[in-house]
Amino acid sequence: MNNSNFWNLKSGFILASASVNRRALLESVRLVPSKIVSPQIDEAQFDAELPARYVKRIAIQKAKAVAKEHPGETILAADTILAVGRRFIRKAYTEEEARANLNLLSGRKHKVLTGICVISPSGKIISKVNTSVVAMKKLDETDIRFILNSNEWKGVAGYQIEGVLSAFVKHISGSYSSIVGLPVYETIQILRGIL
């Protein structure tokens, strides 16, 4: 698709994600999905699976699951995780889990990996992983209590970079939008090549 009509996306695409952040990131650059479908897949980690391999596999599985139900459509899927070395930061559903995540991230650098996958109407699959590095200050009890009281940790892996935790981030190397949930630049480049 050429530059003049790329932003119109007349052919449209399906966003295979229920993430509010991903939708907002796309809409911020005027890319509005024609449909949003939340894929239902098993996101369990394989034994000894490395973070980059995991996040790429999950993004592909999400895209394939939606493509199966919507053949002939362009599908965009993504998955984001945090990792300290080989250790994944899991989604927190209780305050105790959130505190454990914050203690693991405190005073350390960690990686935020986002896998993206696009399936073209012809079935061509393009996928890649974007990796950013985030350095967080050493958190004391007051910091942790402030973050916990925000309730922004609920149901997310570690934190929301666009929320209160941004006050404790010392340095970011990589894509800010990827940390939020979708590497916008890379996503646009892939869509340009398909649409």
The answer to whether 140 is a known catalytic residue is no
**Structural tokens at position 55:** 């996040």
Rounded CA separation 130/180 (Å): 12
Among the listed residues 42, 47, 79, 143, the single catalytic one is 79
**b/e sequence 22-42, b meaning 16+ C-beta within 10 Å:** bbebbeeeebebeeebebebe
Instruction: Give the residue numbers marked as catalytic.
Output: 79
